[in-house]
Amino acid sequence: MTVRVGLLGATGAVGQRLIQLLDPHPEFEIAALTASEESAGKSYREAAKWRVEAPIPEEVAQMEVGATTPEDVPDDVSLIFSSLPSGVGAEVEPDFCEAGYVVSSNSSNGRMDPDVPLTIPEVNPEHVDLIEVQRDERGWDGALLKNPNCSTITMVPPLEALDRAFGLTDVRVSTLQAVSGAGYSGVSSMEIIDNAIPHIGGEEQKMETESRKLLGEFDGAEVRLHDMDVAASCNRIPTLDGHLENVWADTAEDVTADAAADAMDEVTGVDLPSSPEHLIKVFEEPDRPQPRLDRNTEGGMGVAVGGFRETTDGVQFNCLAHNTMRGAAGASILNGELLLQNGYL
Ligand SMILES: NC(=O)c1ccc[n+]([C@@H]2O[C@H](COP(=O)([O-])OP(=O)(O)OC[C@H]3O[C@@H](n4cnc5c(N)ncnc54)[C@H](OP(=O)(O)O)[C@@H]3O)[C@@H](O)[C@H]2O)c1
């Protein structure tokens, strides 16, 4: 069965990656594209400033971009991928859910709402059933599912491996984030060339809260946040794609650098078309992973780790993932596959 899907915010950095990853996709077929009023009514080729390495798929290039309202999306579309600015997402995503669409969203609005599942299918797939609670509370025929922020997705799979094996108590993380994480008009060249910016608005808080929800327990009614303490410091640097992060993880049980690397090396993907066979690639070289060399690990859907060192109460390591693939478009598609597998479409 092929599911017809619609893309909200289809012309942006994440929307373009979605188009690249959905062409082709074994389960999903692009049936609608929307963007801002400025783009509505134009062909996708005219509306999008295409920046992906591969060319625009011809059928997509010729499609007309619609306005971002449920009325502009055909009824036979059952899954919506949303990559809208969060303020716009907060306004329009509930309209789509109310109109019966199931929305897999990248936007940060609502991620920490108690009845909104926040999932990484390889980490907490069972949280998807929070949709039952959401439908009861909101009376929606549709549903809203979120993937986490791109910097959170990078560190959580390795942290989950450590938590399962040794129990996490405290996490400290400092990021070196690529410019594509801010979208196409996010950071100007005058700001970022020959520079590093030690602040990304709201990002620290997202890493500190979303990671605790992802590693929290879902009891059928609510998600209890993990009680680990997380503190983050986020920095923008002049790389194009791929967020690199330095993580210090304190554990309840004793851990060695080798044991931490082994725990991560054992993590496999899940039975979904976009999940990689080997989720976490462990590098032995102390100077890897690096953004330019390693962001396309497992076709951009893997997480690369390395630089393990023992610390007083745990381990330090570095991790890296492609922010618009594993961190955004790929994450949303994986969540769409999870929704289909669990009978929500
Ligand atoms: N970039 C990343 O690595 C990343 C990672 C994780 C999550 N996210 C999140 O994903 C979302 C999209 O990010 P992005 O980087 O793709 O942003 P972007 O490049 O700025 O694209 C924004 C998209 O939203 C559309 N849009 C803007 N204002 C609109 C409005 N008022 N009504 C309808 N559509 C509107 C734009 O259409 P026009 O072209 O017509 O303006 C464009 O398609 C954001 O919430 C971001 O925080 C991004």
| Residue 136, domain CATH | 3.40.50.720
User: Which atom of ligand 1 approaches the CA of 10 most closely?
Assistant: 43
CA atoms within 13 A on the CB side of 39: 22
Residues 257-312 pLDDT 10s: 999 999 999 999 999 999 999 999 999 999 999 999 999 999 999 999 999 999 99
Residues 46-62 pLDDT 10s: 999 999 989 999 999 99
- Gap between the Cα atoms of 320 and 154, Å rounded: 6
Average pLDDT in the chain: 97
Query: Cα(49) to centroid of ligand 1, in Å?
Result: 13
Same domain, 145 and 156: no
pLDDT band at 331 (very low <50, low <70, confident <90, very high): very high
CATH value at residue 172: 3.30.360.10
Same domain, 214 and 306: yes
Q: Which domain range does residue 95 map to?
A: 3-149+328-341
pLDDT of residue 185: 84
Reply yes or no on whether 199 is catalytic. Answer: no
Residues 14-30 pLDDT 10s: 999 999 999 999 999 99
What's the chain look like in SS3?
CCEEEEEECCCCHHHHHHHHHCCCCCCEEEEEEEECCCCCCCEHHHHCCCCCCCCCCHHHHHCECEECCHHHCCCCCCEEEECCCHHHHHHHHHHHHHCCCEEEECCCCCCCCCCCCECCCCCCHHHHHHHHHHHHHHCCCCEEEECCCHHHHHHHHHHHHHHHHHCEEEEEEEEEECHHHHCCCCCCHHHHCCCCECCCCCHHHHHHHHHHHHCCEECCCCEECCCCEEEEECCECCCCCCEEEEEEEEECCCCCHHHHHHHHHCCECCCCCCCCCECEEECCCCCCCCHHHHCCHHHHCCEEEEEEEECCCEEEEEEEECCCHHHHHHHHHHHHHHHHHCCCC
Query: Cα(149) to centroid of ligand 1, in Å?
Result: 13
- Of 25, 226, 243, 322, the active-site residue reads 243
User: Which atom of ligand 1 approaches the CA of 14 most closely?
Assistant: 16
Query: Cα(208) to centroid of ligand 1, in Å?
Result: 23
User: Which atom of ligand 1 approaches the CA of 183 most closely?
Assistant: 15
Same domain, 187 and 295: yes
Reply yes or no on whether 97 is catalytic. Answer: no
Query: Cα(83) to centroid of ligand 1, in Å?
Result: 5
**Nearest one of 265, 275, 252 to 326, comparing CA atoms:** 275
Express as a percent the part of the chain with pLDDT over 70: 100
Same domain, 165 and 130: no
- Of 97, 150, 234, 319, the active-site residue reads 150
User: Which atom of ligand 1 approaches the CA of 84 most closely?
Assistant: 24
Same domain, 291 and 207: yes
Same domain, 42 and 86: yes
Find the range with the poorest average confidence among 182-186, 200-204, 219-223, 283-287.
182-186
Same domain, 82 and 113: yes
Sign of CA dihedral 50, 67, 331, 184: positive
pLDDT of residue 184: 81
Same domain, 38 and 142: yes
Same domain, 303 and 264: yes
Query: Cα(35) to centroid of ligand 1, in Å?
Result: 9
Question: For ligand 1, which residues put their CB under 6 angstroms from it?
Answer: 9-15, 35-36, 38-39, 68, 83-86, 88, 106-108, 149-150, 180-181, 183-185, 323-324, 327-328
Same domain, 223 and 141: no
Average pLDDT over residues 97-117: 97
The structural domain count of the chain equals 2
Same domain, 204 and 65: no
Same domain, 272 and 294: yes
Mutate to test the pocket of ligand 1, among 49, 71, 83, 334 (most ligand atoms within 8 A of CB): 83
Q: Please tell me the residue having the least CA distance from ligand 1 atom 17.
A: 183
User: Which atom of ligand 1 approaches the CA of 85 most closely?
Assistant: 45
Q: Please tell me the residue having the least CA distance from ligand 1 atom 11.
A: 83
Mutate to test the pocket of ligand 1, among 63, 106, 325 (most ligand atoms within 8 A of CB): 106
Question: How many C-beta neighbours within 10 Å does residue 41 have?
Answer: 12
pLDDT of residue 258: 98
